[in-house]
Structure 1
C-alpha cells in the first residue's frame, strides 16, 4: 500500500511562504545536514539518511567541520539513543520537564530521516485515530472505504515511508491509546480491516522506529503497561550540571528569540547570570527557611533550562517594549512570579525566602538589584 501525502504547500509548510515562528530542525540546519550527507562515507543503517557517526556529529557538534552543537548533554546518551533506533526497539526519553527531551528527539529524527514533523502530541484527548489513521468521511460515505478516503496519521506514514515517528508525552495518553502501539512496535505492521486485499496491511519499511518522551513528573498519571515498556529502551535526560554551560545555552537561545520578537538590544549577560543562578539554586533547594541550601525547600515548580529561556525572553521583551532598553533585575523578579507560583502557592513563598536570604547576601550590582526588587512579588 502507498500512503500519499496530499497536504498542500502553504505558509506553515517548511520552505514555503512567509517565515514561521519555529521552523523544524531539518529547515533550520539544512546546510549542515546537506554537508554531512555529502561527506558521509560511513556505513548507514537501512533506511537512514546519515550514518550513526554523522548523526552524532549533527547533534553534539563538530567545530572543525562547521557543525554547531545543538544538544547540551552527555554525548554517550546520544550514542546509546542512535544505537537503539538502529535496532528493532523503540527509544523512550524520560526526565524532568525542560531537559530538552523533545529537542533531542527532533534533532535525531531530522538527522536519521530528514523529517522531524511526523509527531504525535500525547494528551488526555489523544485518540487512536490520531496515531494510526482516520477517514475522510465525505469520501467514505460517497465511495466506501478506499485508499482515497484513508487519512494517514503520523504512525502509518512513518511505517509506509520508513521514517522515525516522535511520540511526545506518551504517559499523558490514556492506557488504551498507549497500548495501540504494541502491535506496531512488535509486529511492525498496521492492519486496516476496512480495506480489502493487500491495501489492508501496511508493513513498516526500513528506517521506521519510534522516539517517545515522558516527564518523570507525569509518572503515575497514566503509567505505561509492562508490555509496552518492554518494547522500549529507556534513557534518562538530566539537567545541565554546569553553570557556565547552561548560561551559554540560555544566552544563545534568548538572543535568537529576542531577534524573532523584534527586540534590538542583545540580552545582558549579567542579568542572565542572575536569572540562571536563581533557577539553579531553587532547583537544588537553596533558600531554605534556615537560610542554607539543601533539598528540604526545593521548588515544586519547573525551574528548568527551558523555563529559564522563557523567562529571559519575557525579561527582554518587557524591557524593550516598555522602556526601550534591555531587561534588568527588576524585570527578572516581575517575570519570575508567574513561573514560581505555577504549581503551588508555597512556591511563591519559597521565592520570597530565596530573595531575602540568598540574593541579599550577594554583593554584585545585579544581585543587589534583584534583592531590591523583591517587593515586586507582592504587586
Structure 2
C-alpha cells in the first residue's frame, strides 16, 4: 500500500529491512492521537474508534487501509483487548494474523515490539524473565541482574504483548501463561520485597496467533483457551482486492530491493489467480482443480511476486514475466510434499492450456521450466 512507504525512514544509516508499524506509520499515529477526542480505555494510546481507523483506514482523515479483512473482526478484537480477556487470532498461514496483531499493538500501545516467537525451543525464560549471570554471581539476585522478557515488560509498562505461533510451544510453556492471564501478576521468588511481585498496569494484555495447519501439534489446554477470545482470520475473498494488495506489497518490497520498475499488472493477475485456484482446488470456471498441500496464501503470493520482479530486473532489466512465475513457483510448491510439484505440473499443462491472454499463454508455454 502506498501509505506504507510514506513514513519509512529515508536517511542514510536508518534503512532497515522491515521497520515496525509504529515507525512506518508514525505520522498517521501522531495525527490520530492529536485529533482523538473519544474516550480511551485505561492505558491505551488511542480510543477504540481511532485504533479502528488506523487499522482499516479512513478516507475522510486520509488514513490508509492497512489490513484487508473484515472490519467487524477488527472491532471485536479491539473490544476484547479492552477487557481482561486475551485475544487469539487463528487462521490459515499467510492470512495476515501477525500483521493485524502488530497494527493493533502499534495503535493501542504505540509499540509493537514486545513479541514472543513461539517454537519448540521457546522456554518460560523467553516469556517472563531471565538473569544476567555475571551480575547474579557477583551480587546475588537483584533487580539490576533481572532481565525482563516481553511479558514482564508488558505488565510493568502497561503495554500489549504479542505471542506468535503459540501452539508451536510445548504445553508446559503455554500453561505458564495461566496465572499471568488470570491473576495479572508475575512472581519473581528470587527477589525480596516489592520487586518480588510485578503487577500488570492498565493497558496490558496479550494478542496470540496460531495457524490452523499447526492444530494438534501442541494443542492448547482447555484452561488456557478459556483465557482467550478466539477470532478467525479468513483468506481474502475478492480476487481484485487480493491482486491490489499483492501489487501494493510487492511494489514496496521491490523498491526496497533496488528494483526500479513496478510489477506487471497482467503477470500479477495470472500469479494471484493461480494461487487462488491451487489454494481452493476450484478453477475460475468452477471446475475442480488440484489443490496443493503447500501454503498458497496471499503472503506467499507477495513473496513470489517479489522474487519474480527481482529475477526479471537484475537478470534482464525487465519487470518479470510468466516464465519467471513458473520458475519461482517451484520453491513454493515443493515445500510440503513432492507430489505438489506433480500437481502444479498438471495444473500448468491442463488447466492453463487454452486460456486467453498473452500472459496465460506464456505461463503455459513455460511449463517445461518446472524442474523435477
Aligned counterpart in structure 1 of residue 151 of structure 2, from 155, 162, 165: 155
Equivalent position SS for 2:175 = helix
Matches within 5 A, 1:92-171: 92-171=88-167
Alignment check: 8 A CA contact 2:330 2:371 kept: no
Distance in 2, Cα, partners of 1:178 & 1:378? 41
Choose which of 44, 48, 51 in structure 2 pairs with 1:48: 44
Maintained 8 Å contact 2:165/2:208: yes
| TM alignment of 1:141-290, pairs within 5 A | 141-286=137-282
- Alpha-carbon distance, 1:292 to partner: 7.0
TM-score by length of 1: 0.94
Q: Would you identify which runs of 4 or more consecutive aligned residues in structure 1 move more than 4 Å? A: none
In the alignment, is residue 293 of structure 1 matched against residue 287 of structure 2?
yes
- Among 319, 322, 332, the residue aligned to 1:329: 322
Deviations 1:175-204 (CA, angstroms, capped at 9, x unpaired): 000000001100000000000011100000
Distance 1:197 1:16, change over 3 A: farther
* Deviation per residue, 1:11-56 (Å, 9 max, x gap): xx9x994311000000000000000000001000000000000000
Residues 307-340 of structure 1 deviation map (CA, whole Å, 9 limit, x = unaligned): 0000000000000111111100000000001101
1:213-244 C-alpha deviation (Å, 9 max, x unpaired): 00000000000000000000000000000000
Query: Hey, what does 1:310 align to over in structure 2?
Result: 303
Q: Report the aligned-residue RMSD.
A: 1.6
Say if 2:292 and 2:340, in contact at 8 Å, map to a contact too: yes
Match of 2:70 among 74, 89, 110: 74
Find the aligned partners of 1:375 and 1:342 in 2 and give their Cα distance.
20
Query: In 2, distance between residues paired with 1:139 and 1:378?
Result: 56
Q: Which runs of 5+ in 2 are unaligned?
A: 1-8
Unpaired segments of 5 or more residues in structure 1?
1-12
**Structure 1 position 361, deviation (Å):** 2.1
The aligned length equals 363
Determine helix, strand or coil for the equivalent of 1:166. Answer: strand
On the 8 A contact 1:286/1:354 being kept in 2, the answer is no
Q: Given the alignment of the two structures, is residue 87 of structure 1 paired with residue 80 of structure 2, yes or no?
A: no
CA deviations over 1:219-277 (Å, ceiling 9, x no partner): 00000000000000000000000000000000000000000000001100000000000
1:4 corresponds in structure 2 to none
